Amino acid sequence: MPKESGASKAIAGVFVILTIAVIAGTVTMIVLYKTQISTLNPTPRPTVLPTTTGPPPVARLPKYLIPQRYKVFLKPQLYTRIIEVVNVTSPNQTLLFNGNSTVYFHCVQATKSIYLNSKGLTISQKLAMVRNTDLEQKIDVSALNFLDDQTDFLEIQLNEALEAGANYSLFLDFKGEISENLDALYVSTYHEGKPAYEGDTNTERFLAATNMEPTETRRVFPCFDEPEMKAEFDVTIIHRRGTTALANQKESGGSIIDEEWEYTSFHPTPKMSTYLFAFTVSEFPSTLSEHERVTIKTFARPEAIAAGHADYAANITGKILTFYEDYLKSSYKLETLYQIALPDLAPAAMENWGLITYQEGGLLFEEGVSSMLHKEMIATLIAHELAHQWFGNLVTMKWWNDIWLNEGFATYMTYFAVDHVEPTFQMKDTFVIRDLHTAFEADSLASSHPLSPPQDDVQTNDEIIEMFDSITYSKGAMMLRMLEDFVGESAFYKGVKKYLSDFEYKNTDQNDLWECIQKDESINIEVATVMNTWTKQIGYPVITINTTDGAITQKHFLFNDSSESSLLWHIPIRYMSNISEPDQISWFETSAERKTEFISKNGEWILANVNCTGYYRVNYNLENWERLLTQLERDPHRIPLMNRGQLIDDAFNLARAKLVDVTLALNSTRFLRNERAYLPWESAVRNLEYFVLMFDRSEVYGPMQAYLREQVKGLYTFFKNYTDHSEVPKAHSLQYNQIIAIEVACSNGLPECIEMASAMFAHWMNNNNTANLIHPNLRSVIYCQAMAAGGMKEWEFAWNKFQSSSDTSEKEQLRAALSCTKKIWLLNRYLGYTLDPEKIRLMDVASTINYIAKNAAGQALAWNFVRAHWDYVRQVDAAMLIERVTRRFSTQFELEELERFATDYDLGAATREVNQAIEQTKVNIQWVGEHKDIILEWFEGVTAL
């Protein structure tokens, strides 16, 4: 933030807005506005209203008042620019806002108290007004009380009771502070142009934006801040002249108020949940997208728009929207769709209805600088957020325990949308495997949670935030994929379309989805009975098939073999053999039985869970494992591509759970020396990363590196001609595998790889005034390996480039690469930079620390730093921070430190993740103790051949 950003002008006078009438759908207003500016002293803290500790009847808002419409006026007093003029006193930046709201609601049960949510707002009791809108009668307010608990309840006590069946309005006048922490209504900063001299602040720009999900709208105006309490929002933003205000709906009118202020009004939104409310005030221009009906605009920094960096996003957005409209047989409900690339945003993106916000890196692409693979990330992110316009915005979960209905559907729909708009990417299988493995990893601990837990388990704000994890997103998508596979594509989509049409503008729980799908007459199973075993229980099963006698068992898969579980699932098993095709499903619902279809009658191998349509792992008798691994070495293409990767993943994770010998898992990687496909290599590298984390500080690491050097030589050579000439293959998956080849080869000490990376980076350093010749696809891995092999000179060159670059993609690659140095003092310096938002933006703090923790040289530094600065670093994605920083923990000392951290610190939304880290550390300690010698012997044996 700029100097004196915490100070604000003292405002005296009165801010009054009167809405005169609504005629023929056009909002006409008269704004009576009077203000005086006194001396530039900071505004003293507002008086806080009295509170009471008495809780309401329930922890949630009572259901006896049903909101129908909000009329909201908001005035953020932020300056978007402060230009210093000689001999003229510049105004101080002000981080205040004020406004008023009127909520119209229906009373279904008589009451003398109105409960709604409010947090951090100063509300005028004197101006509070309740009216019976049926009779046009005023009801006096006797008191306003903030409840001193986690509910953020504002209780408005009345002199007389509201009557059941009547309609009312509540007017409140309030003021609050614009946040600097990327939540609620917050300030974001950027530079336009380059400073003319050191300390020049004239290039600094500010904008106001919102980030409401899940429970931040109550910090902008008092509201019924629960997803089931949908209402229309009629919004007017008062903003400084020369700025542009955007909101969920299109503009309905506006006018200049005086020489400093103007207002913009917007059409009322459809009925929607409060967390989707959004607006921005900025100086951003836009670029148009093509769509036959909807006006689509993408907003970004002026320099980015002028340079065409938003063109790719603008080009595909209309196509993705049209795809969803056709695919779901449901039109997008608004006339406008705005997207805005924000310099600061806590999540990667947010699906606000009609005004989708993105981090800049999620929307901007610069030809010749951004990686070609970055297009995939942009397309994926846009597809995810546009899917939410139906799944989440149009049809919304009743409560946060079923947030997977939003996020699981958005994740799953993304596979098809990206495949449609960018068919050459051929990424559907890769997306599936990524989400499957991401979900498996988190769901393998006893401290996991059900996909759809009871509502009572998700009450506080921290508990709600904890639901936004890989279980909700990735497992949710895998549940839908499995459901579609066993009911059939036609029945599934017929049910989904019915779900959207029956519940538009309404709220649902998962039972509504099951019932819609069950309606199809072709389905002969009880959908709810099957799916509830997957969504209401934690974890997932491992099935074990003995191909000699057809015996099959299931048990809860857990890394911790001492955990007890009696859970059972209804499991659809799609299977094949080397003499049959995967054309049928066998159902398995008990703990153990025999199935003749799983008997190997002529020595053939049998493969279960073909194409990984089921959310479970598969173990076999040793003979069948050996047949499958032999097939991988002789002719891997006989086994479906997804299963080639999954066999490796199952083998390694079964070994981690001590269900198979660890040498079987290691043997599953032998075929990779001749493998060129991406999925098997991705699976192997990801699983071997656990071995690296456990053993890169021990004597196992040397032989492990020697083995990986040998295995990757063929892959590295396959891409060598491309790499040496800084070129990439055309196929999308091969571009990914080229990066894997360089990363594995360099990080495991292949001399020619290290020399190549160092030489390319040195050429860039030595020709600083010419174009960077490193291909954009390869920059992330080349930069990182050059940092690892280099020293201070390389690091400071990269840091200077990071600071001076205006390209979002280039900055991201450099920010990650700076963590790759092996110099501890440089890593320590880099950690210190994360405390300065002028160096590392708050939204990037957690990921920067995570990058450093991934480096063996930086892991202990990062852990100490997190504890020393917990209150600051926890502000954005504390759960991910804990998960990444503790991944290497495998000693008793580290466990005791982690347990002490859990006891001594306020964990907030990271509570579940800390408990999972403790469980995982205990598993790691036991596993390393039992397997270290065996693994060392295996690596020494294969490298001695």
Residues designated as active site: 385
In this structure, are residues 250 and 336 in contact, taking their beta carbons and an 8 Å threshold? yes
Q: Map tokens 């199952």 to a residue.
A: 650
Q: Dump strand ranges (E) for 215-366.
A: 232-240, 244-247, 251-256, 261-266, 279-282, 286-289, 295-299, 336-342, 349-350, 355-359
Instruction: Tell me the C-alpha distance between 409 and 403, whole Å.
Output: 10
Instruction: Tell me the C-alpha distance between 426 and 424, whole Å.
Output: 5
Helices (H), 335-460: 374-387, 404-421, 428-442
| Pairing outcome for strands 167-177 and 122-123 | antiparallel
Instruction: Tell me the C-alpha distance between 540 and 534, whole Å.
Output: 7
Q: Map tokens 């380059």 to a residue.
A: 194
In this structure, are residues 188 and 342 in contact, taking their beta carbons and an 8 Å threshold? yes
| First CA to last CA distance, the chain | 60
Q: What count of residues does the chain have? A: 945
Angle between helices 428-442 and 476-487 (to 10 degrees): 120
In this structure, are residues 637 and 623 in contact, taking their beta carbons and an 8 Å threshold? no
In this structure, are residues 80 and 206 in contact, taking their beta carbons and an 8 Å threshold? yes
Instruction: Tell me the C-alpha distance between 802 and 807, whole Å.
Output: 9
Instruction: Tell me the C-alpha distance between 143 and 133, whole Å.
Output: 21
Helices (H), 725-791: 732-747, 751-766, 779-789
Q: Which tokens sit at 340?
A: 């805005």
- What are the backbone dihedrals phi and psi of residue 106, each rounded to the nearest 5 degrees, phi first? -110, 135
In this structure, are residues 846 and 862 in contact, taking their beta carbons and an 8 Å threshold? no
In this structure, are residues 271 and 262 in contact, taking their beta carbons and an 8 Å threshold? no
Q: Is 436 helix (H, G, I), strand (E, B) or coil?
A: helix
Instruction: Tell me the C-alpha distance between 217 and 942, whole Å.
Output: 59
Write the DSSP symbol of residue 6. Answer: T
Instruction: Tell me the C-alpha distance between 437 and 917, whole Å.
Output: 18
Q: Within 13 Å and on the Cβ side, how many CA atoms surround 409? A: 26
Instruction: Tell me the C-alpha distance between 559 and 924, whole Å.
Output: 9
Q: What is the 3-state secondary structure (H, E, C) of 396-422?
A: EECCHHHCHHHHHHHHHHHHHHHHHHC
Partnered with residue 359 across adjacent β-strands are 342
- From the list 681, 734, 741, the residue with the least C-alpha distance to 424 is 734
CA-to-CA dists, residue 617 to 476, 578, 597, 610, 654, angstroms: 17, 20, 18, 11, 8
Partnered with residue 177 across adjacent β-strands are 96
In this structure, are residues 109 and 180 in contact, taking their beta carbons and an 8 Å threshold? no
